[in-house]
Amino acid sequence: MSFADLLPRLGRWAIGYLFRLGHAAFFLVDLLKNVPASLRRFHLVAAQIHAIGNYSVVIIAASGLAVGFVLGLQGYYTLSRYGASESLGLLVALSLVRELGPVVTALLFAGRAGTSLTAEIGLMKAGEQLAAMELMAIDPKQRVLAPRLLGGIIAMPLLAAMFSAVGIFGGYVVGVLMIGIDPGQFWSQMQGGVDVWDDVGNGIIKSLVFGVTCTFVALLEGYEANATPEGVAQATTRTVVISSLAVLMLDFVLTAVMFSTPR
């Protein structure tokens, strides 16, 4: 293969990439335009919150508890070297509220809810249900996709908050009940160091952004999937890969914007 061959190929790849990116942006705008309409028929959104949110509570709570346990143990191990084991509460709460809560919830969300969204939409497309809706002059974006997007955006911050709350409880169980840190110090250090707006508020903003990202990627992949069993399978895989990478990279950007300057 010659260099003259390689260049057009690179160009084609870049144009195709930009085309897909632009297409995704238009798709997002299209969906957002349909969100007000789905607000008017809220029972559709409620059904999606039920499917996305309620069924994720158990996995979120279990993971949060486990992460809280681990943070408690590892944090104590490091902090006790400096004789600062009372700061364990602060360490657990800050890491959960700022980073681990939103990020781990988003990763679990992509695996738990994103995949099912992609598979559902992909199969609807493969079974030509979406095409049938269009024939009946029902916009599938309004009837099917927008309620799911809204449901995901509403469910994610609530799930992330549950994750953090359960995680802090896990840290309390390990730190105070098992290791024996003074409970008063545990809570007062936490309350002294965690700020409502800067830490809890920014964590919620983060999880909102991740909610949009994960749900949107899942819906886009499902809607764009090839209408074959392999196509749906590949789209489901791509959903997990793309949303996980997007969440981790976005998290870096958001952290840099939100927390780069120490107060």
Partner 1 sequence: MTRRGIETLVGLFVLAGFVAIGYLALKAANLAAMTVGETYAVTARFDNIGGLKPRAPVKSAGVTVGRVASISLDGKTFQGLVTMELEKRYAFPRDTSASILTAGLLGDQYVGLNPGGEDENLAAGDTIKMTQSAVVLENLIGQMLYNRAAEGGAEAKK
Which CB atom, from 114 or from 211, has the smaller least distance to partner 1? 211
For residue 105, what are the contacts with CB-CB under 8 A and spacing of at least 6?
Answer: 60, 156, 159, 160, 163, 207, 210
Report d(CA 242, CA 210) in Å as an integer: 12
Nearest distance, CB of residue 1 and partner 1, angstroms:
55
Report d(CA 157, CA 148) in Å as an integer: 15
Query: Could you tell me where the DSSP H helices lie in 173-201?
Result: 183-193
Residues 169-228 within binding reach of partner 1 (CB under 8 A): 187, 190-192, 194-196, 199-200, 204
Residues 24-43 within binding reach of partner 1 (CB under 8 A): 43
Which CB atom, from 146 or from 159, has the smaller least distance to partner 1? 159
Instruction: Determine the Cα angle at 222 with ends 218 and 225, to 5°.
Output: 135
For residue 223, what are the contacts with CB-CB under 8 A and spacing of at least 6?
Answer: 27, 121, 125, 130, 145
The reply on whether position 93 binds partner 1 by CB under 8 A is yes
The reply on whether position 49 binds partner 1 by CB under 8 A is yes
Which CB atom, from 102 or from 114, has the smaller least distance to partner 1? 102
Residues 54-83 within binding reach of partner 1 (CB under 8 A): 54, 57
Burial call 130-145: b when 16+ CB within 10 Å, e when fewer:
beebeeeeeebbbbbb
Stretch of residues binding partner 1 (CB under 8 A), selected from 13-21, 44-52, 175-183, 252-260: 44-52
Number of residues binding to partner 1, judged by CB under 8 A: 32
Report d(CA 205, CA 21) in Å as an integer: 24
Stretch of residues binding partner 1 (CB under 8 A), selected from 8-16, 25-33, 154-162, 220-228: 154-162
Residue numbers of the site for partner 1 (CB under 8 A)?
A: 43, 46-47, 49-50, 53-54, 57, 93, 97, 154-155, 157-159, 161-162, 164-166, 168, 187, 190-192, 194-196, 199-200, 204, 263
